[in-house]
Amino acid sequence: MSRPQRVQPAEVPGLSARRIAVDILDDVLRRNRPLDDHFEGEHAHPGLPTLADRDRALVRKLVATVLRRLGTLRRLLDSSLDRGYPDDAPRLEMILLVGAAQIIWLDVPDHAAVDLAVRLAQADRRASRYAGLVNAVLRRIARERSSHVGAEPGLDTPGWLMARWRRTYGGEVARAIAEAHSHEPPLDLTVKNEPQNWAARLRGRDLPTGTVRLIAHGPVSRLPGYDEGAWWVQDAAAALPARLLGDVQGLTVADLCAAPGGKTAQLAYAGARVTAIDRSPARLMRLKDNLARLALAAEVVAADALEWQGGPFDAVLVDAPCSSTGTIRRHPDIAHLKREEDIAALTTVQRRLIDRAVALTRPGGTIVYCSCSLEPEEGEAQIAALLEREPRVRRSPISAAEVDGLPELVTAVGDLRTLPCHLPDADPRMAGLDGFYAARLQRL
């Protein structure tokens, strides 16, 4: 008589999502791998396709919440561990971080967050012996929750970044930037036309800048207007630099470092004859896919912009590679992956790209240089140095009217400077901008 087959019990709901979140968090914090790499491309986490849309969204929310609140969480957990973390269970901290984040900030019942964290520890070969510790620490955090919510401003920002922002913007603004980074950002869309109608249809709002802003629920590709190419995802601040070129109808425009293509799409829709240049074939594939969905055309070139020969162009847009500290609200891993010494290497590349842009621009043409960095070396200082060494260009000041009457976005010399704490709103989920710098120059 044959033995009956043993039926494997179904996995506890939500456990897979937490396990994958711990995997990704471990990869980001201990191996310095960018967060987005885990969700898209050939190196994405292999477990994500097995999850429902809701659980995939939960994975990202879990990891992003931990990264936004990492300083607060680590101080909280350190105070709950009398002997610190054991050396023989490296993933134990990740399990506790994910569990504590759910208890304090996410809409997860305490008992579920604790139980799932204990199960994760039990399933980990090295952490299994500490399952009781996980249970005790998280139950204590749940009991004392109210004393943990009001963290001091800046605690979740690495010290070197806070010190820089205090020097550059002052203590009050630095704290406001850090506070803006603690909230999940809204979804910003650049629409082809009728922003008010699309705002109503998507149950969002149209900003003074023309961007449609909403709180997304579910995959972006399922929103109305996606399939017909009515809009594309682009932070409201990121949509400003291309507009500084003015009326580009019929003009030749080079977009250097163009991928993923939001600015290329803006220029193409405005009627420019765009040449989009980027050194990453993979990122250019995404740009091409976006242009195809939007029914827009551009010449796409896979090349290093520093070496590529072309032009001269009526206008050149340079979206320079940078430390990306202005995008921490959307990419919270950046605060923990970047180091202060990275900035010096990037400024060398930026300087060369600006010089290349000048060479590619015809006399009388326009250059816009921008970077999504809060660091002055990657913005204001670059343009000041260019104007010192290059007699063929001069600054073409930006007016508040060009940025929809928001004078706080324009510096004293006429450059664009947006901060994460700009565009405040009573609902922090609908507030803020990415940190961008842009300067407009005329080729003499």
Burial class for 150, CB neighbours closer than 10 Å (0-12, 13-18, 19+): exposed
416 neighbors 439 (Cβ within 8 angstroms):
yes
Q: How far apart (Å, rounded) are the C-alpha atoms in residues 62 and 101?
A: 7
User: What are 417-436's pLDDT values in tens digits?
Assistant: 999 999 999 999 999 999 99
Determine which helix (DSSP H) or strand (DSSP E) holds 233, and give its type and residue range: strand 231-233
pLDDT for 316 equals 98
Among 114-128, 142-156, 332-346, whose mean pLDDT is lowest? Answer: 142-156
Phi, psi of 132 (to 5 degrees): -65, -40
pLDDT above 90 (res 107): no
Percent of the chain's residues with pLDDT above 90: 90
- Calculate mean pLDDT across residues 371-397: 98
Q: What mean pLDDT, rounded, does the chain reach?
A: 94
User: What are 334-376's pLDDT values in tens digits?
Assistant: 999 999 999 999 999 999 999 999 999 999 999 999 999 999 9
DSSP strands (E only) in 134-199: 187-191
* 322 counts as catalytic: no
pLDDT above 70 (res 96): yes
Domains in the chain: ranges and CATH? 15-147 (1.10.940.10), 187-443 (3.40.50.150)
- Calculate mean pLDDT across residues 286-311: 96
pLDDT class for 151, splitting at 50, 70, 90? low
pLDDT class for 11, splitting at 50, 70, 90? confident
With vertex at residue 103, the alpha carbon angle to CA 101 and CA 109, rounded to the nearest 5 degrees, is 135
pLDDT above 50 (res 396): yes
pLDDT above 50 (res 4): no
Give every CB contact of residue 283 below 8 A, 6+ residues apart in sequence: 259, 260
pLDDT above 60 (res 9): no
User: What are 202-254's pLDDT values in tens digits?
Assistant: 999 999 888 999 998 889 999 999 999 999 999 999 999 999 999 999 999 99
Burial class for 2, CB neighbours closer than 10 Å (0-12, 13-18, 19+): exposed
DSSP 3-state of 437: strand
pTM: 0.93
Q: For 203, left (φ over 0), alpha (ψ -120 to 50), or beta? A: left
Give every CB contact of residue 136 below 8 A, 6+ residues apart in sequence: none
The number of angstroms, rounded, from the C-alpha of 428 to the middle of its chain's C-alpha atoms is 17
207 neighbors 239 (Cβ within 8 angstroms):
no
pLDDT for 144 equals 86
pLDDT above 90 (res 52): yes
Closest to 270 in 3D by CA, of 296, 307, 289, 236: 296
DSSP 3-state of 171: helix
Percent of the chain's residues with pLDDT above 70: 96
Give every CB contact of residue 432 below 8 A, 6+ residues apart in sequence: 180, 183, 185, 186, 329, 420, 421, 422, 423, 424, 425
- Calculate mean pLDDT across residues 11-18: 90
Any alpha helices (H) in 12-52, and if so which ranges?
A: 15-31
> Is residue 13 reached through a cis peptide bond, with omega within 30 degrees of 0 on the bond before it?
no
pLDDT for 271 equals 98
Given the residues 257, 322, 372, 421, the one annotated as active site: 372
DSSP strands (E only) in 279-346: 299-302, 313-319
pLDDT above 90 (res 38): yes
> Which pair of tokens denotes residue 426?
């009573």
316 neighbors 365 (Cβ within 8 angstroms):
yes
Phi, psi of 318 (to 5 degrees): -115, 110
Q: How far apart (Å, rounded) are the C-alpha atoms in residues 368 and 386?
A: 13
224, 226, 232, 233 alpha-carbon torsion, rounded to 10°:
70
> Which pair of tokens denotes residue 240?
């400003």
Q: How far apart (Å, rounded) are the C-alpha atoms in residues 274 and 315?
A: 10
pLDDT above 60 (res 49): yes
Phi, psi of 166 (to 5 degrees): -65, -40
With vertex at residue 282, the alpha carbon angle to CA 277 and CA 285, rounded to the nearest 5 degrees, is 70
pLDDT for 42 equals 83
pLDDT for 31 equals 94
Pairing of strands 212-214, 187-191: antiparallel
Give every CB contact of residue 60 below 8 A, 6+ residues apart in sequence: 39
How many CB atoms are located within 10 Å of the residue 274 CB? 32
Q: What angle, 0 to 180 degrees and rounded to 10, lies between the N-to-C axes of helices 70-80 and 53-68?
A: 80
Place of tokens 């995404």: 286
179 neighbors 71 (Cβ within 8 angstroms):
no
